[in-house]
Structure 1
Amino acid sequence: MNPGDRLRELCGTTIAKLVDPGLRDRVRQVRARLDAPLKIAVAGAVSSGKSTLVNALLGLPVAPVDAGECTRVVTQYEYGTDDGLVEIECEDGRVLRTRLAPGHRLPDDLGVPVDLVRRVRVRLASEALRAITVVDTPGMNTTTVENERAARRMIFGTDEDDDHAQALIYVLRYVQAFDDTTLAEFRGLTEACGMTCVNTLAVLSQIDRRGDEEDPWPTARRLAVKAYADLRASVFDVVPVIGLLAETAGTGALGPAELDGLAALARLDEADLEFLLLDLDDLADSPDSPLAPDVARRLIRHLHRYGLRTAIAHAAAGPDALRQTLLDKSGFGVDARTGTVAGGIVHFARRADQLKALAAITQLRRVSRAPAFGSDLATLDALAAELDETKPIAAGLHGLRIFAAVEAVARGQLVLSEEMRDELLRLARSDDPAEQLGVPAGEVPEAARRATERWRARAMIERGRVGGQRARDVLGVLEDLAAPPILQTPAPIFLPVAAAPVDGDAVRRLLASPLVPAEDRQALTCLLAGGDGAAQVGLSAGPPDVAAYAAALSARFRSLSHFLPFTADRRAAESVSDSYAHLAVTAVQKGSPHVG
């Protein structure tokens, strides 16, 4: 049974036992969201291109791109057979209904002051919305406090409102201090909102407005690589896009008048055309322009300079071919290719069940901490126990634990070398084992085996801490990749590893120190009492495990020696580290298997 099915079952049994109708309703809502489309919020700074991207996702010009009432509220686009129905949910519980204006556009006037609006829901009979629900949010750095609060509530949720997004597309015109700060806040609020680099995609928008380059894409790709280097612990990917072209192509914004205008521009002498495109105002106002002013302004609004050049060059190919060219040149993508918005959506869709389950666990944990009385107390305690990380539900989200490790790195809870950090991020960015390990497919098991040694050592060093748990999560994934085919071959027999020499006084001194963690005192007890190398590291396995654990423990006690305040204690820790190091070397020398 997958985590989603387990959660549905858990919700059902919890609802049946709860007495409080408010608590029952909250659990029902969690169960309903498990069956609903994945909810993806589009967020970012004011005027970053959010609504333009939303229109491209929907294939309709419904989201307003100019400042107005509807850009100041959370607007949710979801599937519905009553195409064009608009529901305005007010903070006082009222729901007002209206319809989209002609051309699938939101009305200019909602009929109620925007500061009283909690959310606008728009129903569209779009096949794309059967799988996802798209949420357009106000600017995250808007000067209107209520607008920003509404956006954050949709992304993070609150104690009173769990109906928040399960994935996030964050739109930025360029990486700046505000965006990095906001993404850092996302990391800090993971427990509350479930956002990690598995469900956050950064979109570098308006890349055609960065300069006077004829082709903006080489620069855009370099900027995206740099942005990913800055934000890689926070986002699944950073993808560049010209949202305006994606919107124009996706919504069919160019009508017969605009297509005729493009054909007229294509017939101009090259020098005359360049002169008109040098200052876009000339295209509408110059007497030398072959276009009517209103047509020129619509072309500028839908294409801007780079889009105009592209559309003019391909005007003769016909409307359908032109739309496809604009879509290709926008960088939006139409399939699972990495480095595109469409590829990011596919990434979310592949993990939709897990993302919804992850959000449901977060929401149910919040319910389990709610005030309760009588038998409901025991019911909520039982709910909390079932959501523990060691239980099947949370453990079933094994595929997402890589991303929890990435988040632990971002928070400073798991400290890694640059090599291991890169290794972790490769694991997070791909589902293909060869891409995850950066090796040809035939070398995956051996590369994974080598990686397990590094991560096993890190898990040992961080044992008893958050970083240790996250390192073990990664280790589990790597062990699955390293698992060889099951062959009917005799089990290898390893030569025993002799016990390492130990300074008993040093060990006893550390055992008596209150500054030595309990986990380390347990390791010291094994070291002192063990009759052979395996027993000294608390194992019964052969030399490969002994070597890895001994090396990790050596590094752990070497690190501990730097934090102990007394010289004698530091020397004792160094002595213990030397004993483990000796044991590691011995185990490696004994590591050649003999087949029995």
Structure 2
Amino acid sequence: MSVANLCHRLASQVSPRTAAGFAEVQRRLAAPLQVAVAGRIKSGKSTLVNALIGRRVAPTDVGECTRLVTRFQYGTVDRVEVVFTDGTKQVLPFAADGSIPAELGVDIKKVSHLEAYLTNAVLQGMTVIDTPGLGSLDAASVSRTEQLLGAAQDDTGSDNLDDTSRNAVAGAEAVLYVVTQGVRADDQQALAAFTAATASREAGPVNAIAVLNKADTIVAETVEGSGGDIWLAAKLLAEKQASTLKPRVADVLPVIGLIAESAESGGFTSADADVLHQLADLDDDVLETMLISADIFTSWECDVPAGVRLRLLEKLDLYGVRRAVDAIRAEPAITAGALRRVLLDASGLDAVRQRLAIVFAARADGIKAAAALASVTALAHASGDPGERQRVHDAIEVLLAKPEAHQLRLLEALTLVASGAVDMPEDLAEEVLRVGSNADLGAQLGLPGAARPELAAHALERAGWWRSFASFGATPAQSRVAHVVHRAYFLIWQQIRMP
């Protein structure tokens, strides 16, 4: 609200072009948090989007729609809008199966992106942006991604914004980055390049998390310490990837997008459950042999038709089939609904959603406000008027000096440390990232599960330490960060002591 008020107050003191940009910033502040799902080609981004939304709406097969950026947002009427590069739009209905039509019936070269509106409760608090794969050989797909996330036309249809202004106000405010077990050395650079397009901001652990998708494809024996357990291997590999992508992301979580999509979007049916019950009745030796590979699973002679097994495999893969059969054998009377919940648990989607809630949803207002300030600053610099730039700069400094702006200052400090703009000793940088990246008090203090008196004492001790560091021994840049961290600890201490 304070940033929106700042834009409103400054509108009459800047040029019409800058004022138009401020109006777009205000519109974005009032809208849900925009989360872009990014990653390399064939990493399973669209499948994960479907799982998060709870509907198989994003195309997952290779086709013209997978080469386009698609924004999924809440609407009172389900529809798809094709937005062309000239700003015009064409409304299309969803396909009969509820998904975006495989063929749009338009010249894709003239399409900027798609806007999909869904009467979906999930989207009331978060707009999900599905993007073409980074590293794609299709230059046009990459260009569309950059155009929407870095230079999108404003959704108001206004012609008052030039390209530079659009650059300043466009882009996702948070990133869900999808990786697979074959992480390449330049994934960190790819993530940086992606987030650099979002209003020239650097991503940090406050607005970026990653998921290790297709966790079921990991060969557990190749991961030391897994004991042959696939899910444990996935967790260990995710931890390793988290250290590689640090400090770009808050965390890396394992997930099986295919199972999550099937369980959440209605793809898993009672008929599928019946087939799994039939498979559970097979002899152990037969079933174990069938589960060695997909080819054997679909070609082995048994009472379940090969075509039925193939469709089941397309929904659950071998790992999901095994988990479901194990659940049935443990509880033969298990219902289709309970079996769906078992599969959902096995997919890891709940952990991803919880992390999204902690990292994104709980801090949505702060993330959006920080992004808005970056946009306001960029708009003022793009004006070419030194006086205008100074007025905006002074107004922002006054805003940040207010006690209620602490969350903004903490996000700013976090970004400065995460991006390396402010050089801090490694242990102190780790502490800044921990305090600024978590919503849970125990996690913020590095003492998960500790009693409140211990948390309060530690918060007060660290508040005093950072205040001393800010005054004695810190560089000017470090001191600015240290003062923010000191106040963060002091506010945590106050919060813990509240009855």
Task: Give TM class, smaller chain.
Answer: 0.7 to 0.9
SS at match of 2:114: strand
Per-residue deviation, residues 12-67 of structure 1 (Å, max 9, x unmatched) = 333455563x4443222111111111111100010111111100011111111111
Written as runs of structure 1 = structure 2, the 5 A alignment for 1:182-201 is 182-185=190-193, 192-193=200-201, 195-201=203-209
The CA distance in 1 between the partners of 2:496 and 2:252, in whole Å, is 37
Give the residue type in structure 2 aligned to 1:76. R
Written as runs of structure 1 = structure 2, the 5 A alignment for 1:327-346 is 327-333=344-350, 340-346=352-358
The CA distance in 2 between the partners of 1:349 and 1:457, in whole Å, is 33
- In the alignment, which of 114, 119, 124 is matched to residue 113 of structure 2? 119
Give the residue type in structure 2 aligned to 1:356. K
The reply on whether 1:226 has 2:243 as its aligned counterpart is no
Aligned to 1:137: 131
- Pair 1:414–1:193, CA change in 2 (3 A): closer
The CA distance in 1 between the partners of 2:173 and 2:58, in whole Å, is 21
- Pair 1:155–1:479, CA change in 2 (3 A): same
The reply on whether 1:473 has 2:484 as its aligned counterpart is yes
Please tell me whether the aligned partners of residues 100 and 107 of structure 1 are also in contact (alpha carbons under 8 angstroms).
yes
- In the alignment, which of 262, 275, 285 is matched to residue 271 of structure 1? 285
Aligned to 2:156: none
User: Which of the two has higher C-alpha Rg?
Assistant: 1
SS at match of 1:86: strand
- Pair 1:215–1:458, CA change in 2 (3 A): same
- In the alignment, which of 388, 395, 399 is matched to residue 386 of structure 1? 395
The CA distance in 1 between the partners of 2:201 and 2:407, in whole Å, is 19
Greater displacement, 419-428 / 108-117: 419-428
The CA distance in 1 between the partners of 2:231 and 2:44, in whole Å, is 18
Aligned to 1:9: 5
The reply on whether 1:95 has 2:80 as its aligned counterpart is no
The reply on whether 1:43 has 2:38 as its aligned counterpart is yes
- Pair 1:202–1:63, CA change in 2 (3 A): same
- Quote the offset at 1:188 in angstroms: 6.5
Please tell me whether the aligned partners of residues 150 and 170 of structure 2 are also in contact (alpha carbons under 8 angstroms).
no
The CA distance in 2 between the partners of 1:371 and 1:414, in whole Å, is 28
Per-residue deviation, residues 167-188 of structure 1 (Å, max 9, x unmatched) = 1100000332121222344676
The CA distance in 2 between the partners of 1:90 and 1:395, in whole Å, is 44
- In the alignment, which of 56, 61, 74 is matched to residue 61 of structure 1? 56
The CA distance in 2 between the partners of 1:295 and 1:79, in whole Å, is 36
Per-residue deviation, residues 88-117 of structure 1 (Å, max 9, x unmatched) = 111122212211111111111122233321
Aligned to 1:360: 372
The CA distance in 1 between the partners of 2:479 and 2:295, in whole Å, is 61
- Pair 1:240–1:416, CA change in 2 (3 A): same
- Quote the offset at 1:307 in angstroms: 0.4
- Pair 1:222–1:400, CA change in 2 (3 A): farther
Aligned to 2:336: 319
- Quote the offset at 1:293 in angstroms: 2.9
The total of aligned residue pairs comes to 470
Greater displacement, 210-219 / 234-243: 210-219
- Pair 1:164–1:189, CA change in 2 (3 A): closer
Please tell me whether the aligned partners of residues 194 and 362 of structure 1 are also in contact (alpha carbons under 8 angstroms).
no
**Alignment root-mean-square deviation, CA:** 2.8
Greater displacement, 111-120 / 233-242: 111-120
Length-normalised TM-score, structure 2: 0.86
The CA distance in 1 between the partners of 2:35 and 2:195, in whole Å, is 17
- In the alignment, which of 286, 299, 307 is matched to residue 312 of structure 2? 299
- In structure 2, runs of 5+ residues without a counterpart are 152-162, 222-227
Percent of aligned positions with the same letter in both sequences? Answer: 32
Length-normalised TM-score, structure 1: 0.73
Greater displacement, 120-129 / 444-453: 444-453
The reply on whether 1:253 has 2:267 as its aligned counterpart is yes
- In the alignment, which of 178, 181, 198 is matched to residue 171 of structure 1? 178
Aligned to 2:433: 425
SS at match of 2:360: helix
The CA distance in 1 between the partners of 2:187 and 2:471, in whole Å, is 36
Per-residue deviation, residues 345-379 of structure 1 (Å, max 9, x unmatched) = 34311111111111111111122123367xxx756
Give the residue type in structure 2 aligned to 1:13. R
The reply on whether 1:34 has 2:29 as its aligned counterpart is yes
Give the residue type in structure 1 aligned to 2:347. S
Give the residue type in structure 1 aligned to 2:231. W
Per-residue deviation, residues 195-218 of structure 1 (Å, max 9, x unmatched) = 321010111111100116674111
Please tell me whether the aligned partners of residues 70 and 113 of structure 2 are also in contact (alpha carbons under 8 angstroms).
yes
- In the alignment, which of 299, 305, 311 is matched to residue 285 of structure 1? 299
Written as runs of structure 1 = structure 2, the 5 A alignment for 1:398-409 is 398-409=406-417
Aligned to 1:587: none
Greater displacement, 95-104 / 183-192: 183-192
The CA distance in 2 between the partners of 1:435 and 1:150, in whole Å, is 39
The CA distance in 2 between the partners of 1:219 and 1:479, in whole Å, is 39
SS at match of 2:76: coil
- In structure 1, runs of 5+ residues without a counterpart are 334-338, 487-596
- Pair 1:436–1:484, CA change in 2 (3 A): closer
Please tell me whether the aligned partners of residues 58 and 100 of structure 2 are also in contact (alpha carbons under 8 angstroms).
yes
SS at match of 1:314: helix
Give the residue type in structure 1 aligned to 2:282. L
Larger RCO: 1 or 2 (CA < 8 Å, sep 6+): 2
Per-residue deviation, residues 222-254 of structure 1 (Å, max 9, x unmatched) = 112222223331112211111111111101212
The CA distance in 2 between the partners of 1:293 and 1:400, in whole Å, is 58
- Quote the offset at 1:132 in angstroms: 0.8
The CA distance in 2 between the partners of 1:196 and 1:212, in whole Å, is 30
